[in-house]
């Protein structure tokens, strides 16, 4: 497997506190990889490092074999890596359409994602285009967050806890969209606490425990007891 995005001994610090310890990770072009683990396992810190939101060594993160660690977030977006942040982080005073079009500011190429193709993926957003983003349901707001990232035309889509706070029906809709995004060739890295959602979407998994990888492999290699043991450290 040739890695599109990889880390080598990645460490993440917040001051003197270390959140991620020497993680080796890789995702191939067109693959979907899920990072699972309990609260405080270091999953989101790892994803923030990939997105350029926290500092890392230049050679700790490679995109197409080129060091990108430590670059600012706007350069990471322009290089083809976009983040769907935990909590969605929409602009509350802006309409759905304007929130989506914010993704155009960091476009990294032409891989077919535009305002129109995002609205084809999420038709409800075309219907609600003129509404303020906070007036949408949680699931619809998550669609806006995913769509905004897609409009930047990423090679790699990073998704941080996209099921958080959503109803089971909304989670199903969001993950159906993730499946369609993968079919269109986008590489996807998902941080997720919902095991069923993560295992259903992923080709491979990495389980984090206390900032380290406790289990990795194809999602269908492991039974639930093995995954739970790695998840909780039991």
| Listed range (67-76, 106-115, 116-125, 155-164) with the worst mean pLDDT | 106-115
Task: List, in order, residues 6 or more apart from 182 with CB less than 8 Å away.
Answer: 30, 32, 188, 201
The residue with greater pLDDT, 217 or 104, is 217
CA distance 18 to 109: 35
Q: CA 202, CA 161: separation in Å to the nearest integer? A: 14
Query: What DSSP designation does 186 have?
Result: -
pLDDT (average), residues 125-139: 94
Q: How confident is the model at residue 30 (pLDDT cuts 50, 70, 90)?
A: very high
Other residues' Cβ atoms within 10 Å of the Cβ of residue 97: 17
Average per-residue pLDDT for the chain: 92
Q: Taking 90 as the threshold, does the pLDDT of residue 139 lie above it?
A: yes
Counting DSSP H helices and E strands in the chain, the numbers are 9, 10
Answer whether residue 1 shows pLDDT above 80: no
Q: Per the confidence metrics, is the pTM higher than 0.85?
A: yes
- CA torsion 218→30→77→11, rounded to 10°? 20
Mean pLDDT of 21-49: 95
Structure tokens at 54: 């926290």
Domains, the chain: 3-232 (3.40.50.300)
pLDDT digits (tens, 9 = 90+) for 84-100: 998 788 888 999 999 99
Residue of 48, 77, 63, 51 lying closest to 4 (CA atoms): 63
Per-residue model confidence (pLDDT) at position 108: 62
Q: In Å, how far from its chain's centre is CA 55?
A: 18
């Amino acid at each position: 497997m040739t890695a599109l995005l990889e880390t080598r001994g990645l460490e993440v610090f917040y001051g003197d506190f270390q959140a991620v310890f020497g993680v080796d990770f890789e995702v191939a072009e067109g693959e979907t990889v899920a990072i699972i683990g309990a609260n405080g396992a270091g999953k989101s810190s790892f994803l923030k490092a990939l997105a350029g939101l926290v500092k890392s060594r230049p050679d700790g993160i490679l995109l197409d074999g080129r060091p990108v660690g430590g670059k600012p977030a706007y350069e990471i977006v322009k290089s083809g890596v976009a983040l769907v942040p935990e909590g969605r982080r929409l602009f509350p005073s802006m309409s759905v359409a304007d929130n989506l079009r914010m993704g155009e500011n960091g476009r990294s190429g032409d891989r077919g994602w535009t305002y129109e193709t995002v609205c084809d993926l999420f038709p409800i957003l075309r219907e609600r285009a003129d509404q303020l983003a906070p007036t949408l349901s949680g699931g619809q707001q998550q669609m806006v967050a995913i769509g905004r990232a897609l409009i930047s035309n990423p090679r790699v889509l990073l998704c941080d806890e996209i099921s958080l706070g959503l109803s089971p029906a909304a989670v199903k809709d969001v993950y159906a969209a993730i499946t369609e995004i993968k079919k269109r060739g986008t590489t996807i890295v998902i941080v997720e606490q919902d095991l069923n959602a993560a295992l259903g979407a992923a080709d491979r998994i990495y389980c984090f425990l206390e900032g380290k990888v406790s289990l990795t492999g194809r999602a269908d290699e492991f039974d639930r007891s093995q995954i739970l043991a790695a998840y909780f450290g039991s």
